Structure 1
Amino acid sequence: MTLLDGISSRIIETPRLAVNILERTGDDPATAPEQTVVLIHGNVSSSLFWQEIMQDLPSDLRVIAIDLRGFGGSEHAPVDATRGVRDFSDDVHATLEALGIPTAHLVGWSMGGGVVMQYALDHPALSLTLQAPVSPYGFGGTRRDGTRVTDDDAGAGAGGANPDFVQRLAAKDTSDEAPTSPRSVFRSGYVAPGFTSENEDLWVESMLTTSTADANYPGDGVPSENWPGFAAGRFGVLNTMAPQYFDVSGIVDIEPKPPILWIHGTADAIVSDTSFYDLNHLGQLGIIPGWPGADAAPAQEMVSQTRDVLGAYTAAGGDVTEVLLGGVGHAPHLERPAEFRRALLSRIGYVGIPANPSPPTEAIIIRSAD
């Protein structure tokens, strides 16, 4: 595991599984929860992706990045998708309990955004930062209002994973010889076109920590009579976000309501109203043949669904700030780290950061409470 300067790793033994975490070597374990930030990565990644922003956050904060099960250095325990992402969120809670942290500011990226929303449904959190989060209604197979398109979630879940990509993950392929190599997928999916990083090898290394065991990534699929011919199974990472198992729109009703930051980019290829990872959208474009039309297989309006749910959260008394970054892809913390840092520190109420920061270049800040 490649660690940047000032970052260390250790294994935390919990009653559920052994969990790997990253910490900063100078952080004080006695830091109050109000000054503690916990970072949760997304799918096909690990805590390694957080290292640059960990280095950049103020030294009087305690910053911890957790590897979810089946990723990074954590135990490759099986994932029961019928629990949605609760295996992951329960693991996070067990880890924080083992560390003696009763609550904290939670940051979740992509699937990790779903994990921290589920966490907030089950446990107190001081704030939530949702970076390019999965829709509160899951990934694939829902209409704008969150209702399921089919009763078996056709087109959602593990059956949509590209077999060659999975094989290359298992083979630890670091090349860019094919569009399905992890490096190529990072360049085309994780970040906006043209983004470069001196740490790209580290981001690919992080992707390659993904376990491809049967009940990890991607999981099992089942046949379906509905287009495109498969539906979500019961085990593995991708099935956790199938809408029959995953729905965190109930955050609208939680009390007390932690303040929320939603930060995302206009060029996100993964989480979008026109996602290139949504099979219904690909069918609409003619990339997958036989699409039965928008009535039977509508593209999922992922960003609009998130905006609807967070709007309802605000209407119910919550405080939501949306930061939309122009030209940014699926990883704002890599692509625009200064703006990500500023928005995060403002959201957690860090001293010295204005409560209402001026919009950064090419960004729209929408404070929903206004």
Structure 2
Amino acid sequence: MGSIPNLPGILSKMIETPRLNMHVLLRGAADGVPVLLIHGNASSSTFWEETILALPAGFRAIAPDLRGYGDTEDKLIDATRGCMDWVDDLLGLMDVLGYARFHVAGHSLGGSVVWALLATAPERIYTATVIAPGSPFGFGGTKDVRGTPCAHDFAGSGGGIVNPEFARLIAEGYRGTEFQASPRTVMNSFYWKPPFRHSREEALLSGVLSEKIGPDKYPGDLEASPHWPGVAPGRWGPANAISPKYIGDSVEKMLAAPVKPPILWVRGSDDQIVSDMSLFNMGTLGKLGVVPGWPGDEVHPPQPMVGQTRYVLEQYAASGGSYREEVIPDTGHSPHMEKPELFDPLFHAHLKSV
């Protein structure tokens, strides 16, 4: 059993895999068509519960807590492998459960993991759904739709750009609203578009607070950089793992793969975390005057995250794949949770398309 009480009809289970013991939420018959659901950063499997319950008959939901999160065994994330620790963990889980092929959906950082799955094991995926995904080129430190680095050491990405106060308050299990970086305040300000509040706010906050904190976990380590804003990626933890420094050739692999599952890309119209002017991006914060010393648009502009994703998906379609972009209006970073009445029909139609 996990530490967060689940909605009726959802099974919470610990599953031993070749790499680590994973906490997983399950629903549906074991012989149902598997749907792997991958949560985002400062989050956990509980963020999928309504999506799980809404799945049509005949599908089996599998929503694990990723390495570094929730009730899954606490093991370090080697960021120098990019998203590959998570990919290997998830493929190991699906092997243990006996699923050679499956649908996959990823939210936010989970979307970054989906890109890595599409680059690594596309032959195992029926369909892919990415919800407000991190850019295929990584989070932070790039300047154009082709993912060109702002600096050779990828300054402006990784553990050094995380608000240390946010991580400290997660470590303390802080549930109040006294501070601007309070996990509850961050969740209600940025995970969705205010004034939206989720009916399971306390359980979701527990999911945020489940992230493993430390210099080799979250926010992770960093390197000093001579380039603005003075920090480059370290080697450990989730924030470093999604740095463009370690994404490597995953975009090229995804585009060159002979198997290209159809991709549904869903995003909120008013997302402040993943956008072309993300408030979690150093280029944006420099341009707005929040982070001093900004060297200007030519050196370190706001990362065009949406533009980068569209650029890669257009190439994906041109090389034999297919994608569909859906923008949910008046919605923030979590359209599947804010507007399930709009998201679920899109998702279910995509699952049934193959």
Q: Give the TM interval when normalised to the shorter protein.
A: over 0.9
Alignment-derived partner of residue 249 in structure 1:
251
Q: Deviations over 1:286-334 (max 9, x none)?
A: 0111101111111100000000100111111211111111111000111
Say whether residues 1:322 and 2:325 are aligned partners: yes
Say whether residues 1:335 and 2:333 are aligned partners: no
Following superposition, the deviation at residue 266 of structure 1 comes to 1.1
Cα distance in 1 for partners of 2:31, 2:179 equals: 48
Greater alpha carbon shift after TM alignment, 249-258 vs 322-331: 249-258
Alignment of 1:1-370 (within 5 A): 1-24=4-27, 27-31=28-32, 35-123=33-121, 124=123, 125-144=125-144, 145-247=146-248, 248-250=250-252, 251-349=254-352
Q: Deviations over 1:268-295 (max 9, x none)?
A: 0100000000011100110111101111
Cα distance in 1 for partners of 2:109, 2:16 equals: 24
- State the 4+ residue runs in structure 1 displaced beyond 3 angstroms: none
Q: Deviations over 1:195-218 (max 9, x none)?
A: 122111111111011000332211
Q: Is the 8 A contact 1:76 1:216 kept in 2?
A: no
- SS of 1:274's equivalent in the other structure is coil
Cα distance in 2 for partners of 1:196, 1:80 equals: 35
- SS of 1:235's equivalent in the other structure is coil
Q: Deviations over 1:78-124 (max 9, x none)?
A: 01100001001110001000111111000001110111121121112
- SS of 1:222's equivalent in the other structure is strand
Q: One-letter code of the match for 2:141?
A: G
Following superposition, the deviation at residue 36 of structure 1 comes to 1.6
Q: Is the 8 A contact 2:274 2:333 kept in 1?
A: yes
Cα distance in 1 for partners of 2:207, 2:170 equals: 11
Following superposition, the deviation at residue 350 of structure 1 comes to 5.8
Q: Number of aligned pairs?
A: 346
Q: Is the 8 A contact 1:85 1:240 kept in 2?
A: yes
Cα distance in 2 for partners of 1:154, 1:122 equals: 27
Q: One-letter code of the match for 2:297?
A: A
Q: Is the 8 A contact 1:270 1:276 kept in 2?
A: yes
Cα distance in 2 for partners of 1:59, 1:314 equals: 30
Q: Is the 8 A contact 1:90 1:119 kept in 2?
A: no
Cα distance in 2 for partners of 1:344, 1:68 equals: 22
Q: One-letter code of the match for 1:249?
A: V
Identify unmatched segments of 5+ residues in structure 2.
none
Q: One-letter code of the match for 2:89?
A: D
Cα distance in 2 for partners of 1:187, 1:60 equals: 34
Q: Is the 8 A contact 2:105 2:111 kept in 1?
A: yes
Q: Is the 8 A contact 2:143 2:300 kept in 1?
A: no
Cα distance in 2 for partners of 1:328, 1:225 equals: 38
Q: One-letter code of the match for 1:254?
A: A
- SS of 2:15's equivalent in the other structure is strand
- SS of 1:245's equivalent in the other structure is helix
| Alignment RMSD | 1.2
- SS of 1:129's equivalent in the other structure is strand
Cα distance in 2 for partners of 1:172, 1:136 equals: 32
Greater alpha carbon shift after TM alignment, 316-325 vs 269-278: 316-325
